[in-house]
């Protein structure tokens, strides 16, 4: 299926590695102009070198998504570089896993700034440009926590739902010019998993990396963690005109692990 993304402009937040990088890769393969982002400029330029075929269609803009001015500048630089903006993938690194009583106010505020306000700010800045094109679209990377509570994961369990509520609101307020959807991943094989395994060992939840990994992905009916490329393909489809009648939806991509009837 031709996703009809050739020549479109996409901004993928948090895409120097992991799931965001997989989205950037699929979009570039489909012929889109892609802006990748992350804080670490060195890692970002390695990613751009890997994804770009020397056409200059993939560029990197280092920016910390918790900085409002940096988010606005990221959108402006995208538009200046490629002459417009058609698609945005909202994504940022996940919050720490901790029991509720170990999370103080500062940690709640920081997580809100990172997970929620980064999306608010990028969509606000991008909307005039998304409306200018033939079919603007936004996809937010959230988590299976929007469907099912995960132990010791209060920040994600609570704040990811704000994104689903926001996206659902935006799907109505920005229609018909802009479609807005979300994806809710289960376990995917990215560096994030190593961090989660380390955190659970530090907290004493498991006594070996093997046990932590088994708990993380062992219950998946499809019997494996996801390949980030599988998520990249879903996100590219949702962004594309081929999903032109899909908006306000949150799509699970989790190998069947989430125990929720819909």
Of 135 and 212, nearer to ligand NAP (C-beta) is 212
The distance of closest approach from Cβ of residue 163 to ligand NAP in the complex, given in angstroms and rounded to an integer, is 10
Q: Rule CB under 6 A: which residues touch ligand NAP? A: 14-20, 37-40, 43, 64-66, 91-94, 114, 141, 143, 185, 187-188, 190-193
Of 203 and 220, nearer to ligand NAP (C-beta) is 220
The distance of closest approach from Cβ of residue 195 to ligand NAP in the complex, given in angstroms and rounded to an integer, is 7
237 catalytic? Reply is no
The distance of closest approach from Cβ of residue 140 to ligand NAP in the complex, given in angstroms and rounded to an integer, is 10
Of 103 and 177, nearer to ligand NAP (C-beta) is 103
**Could you identify the residue written with the tokens 């993938």?**
89
Of 22 and 85, nearer to ligand NAP (C-beta) is 22
The distance of closest approach from Cβ of residue 227 to ligand NAP in the complex, given in angstroms and rounded to an integer, is 11
Residue 33 CB neighbours (<10 A): 25
The distance of closest approach from Cβ of residue 137 to ligand NAP in the complex, given in angstroms and rounded to an integer, is 19
Of 8 and 142, nearer to ligand NAP (C-beta) is 142
- Which residues are marked as active site? 153
């Amino acid at each position: 299926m031709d996703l009809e993304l050739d020549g479109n402009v996409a901004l993928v937040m948090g895409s120097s590695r992991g799931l965001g990088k997989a989205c950037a890769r699929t979009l570039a393969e489909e012929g889109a102009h892609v802006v990748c982002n992350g804080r670490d400029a060195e890692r970002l330029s390695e990613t751009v070198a890997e994804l770009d075929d020397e056409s200059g269609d993939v560029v990197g803009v280092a920016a910390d998504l918790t900085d409002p001015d940096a988010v606005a500048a990221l959108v402006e630089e995208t538009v200046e570089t490629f002459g417009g903006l058609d698609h945005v993938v909202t994504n940022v690194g996940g919050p720490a896993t901790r029991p509720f009583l170990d999370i103080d106010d500062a940690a709640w505020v920081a997580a809100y700034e990172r997970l929620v306000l980064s999306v608010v700010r990028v969509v606000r800045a991008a909307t005039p440009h998304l409306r200018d094109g033939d079919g603007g679209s936004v996809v937010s990377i959230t988590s299976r926590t929007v469907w099912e509570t995960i132990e010791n994961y209060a920040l994600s369990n609570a704040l990811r739902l704000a994104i689903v509520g926001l996206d659902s609101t935006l799907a109505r307020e920005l229609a018909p010019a802009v479609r807005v959807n979300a994806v809710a991943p289960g376990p995917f094989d990215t560096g994030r998993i190593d961090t989660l395994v380390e955190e659970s060992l530090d907290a004493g939840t498991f006594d070996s990396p093997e046990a932590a990994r088994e708990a993380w992905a062992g219950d998946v009916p499809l019997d494996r963690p996801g390949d980030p490329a599988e998520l990249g393909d879903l996100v590219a489809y949702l962004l594309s005109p081929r999903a032109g009648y899909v908006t306000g939806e949150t799509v699970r991509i989790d190998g069947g692990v989430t125990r929720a009837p819909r």
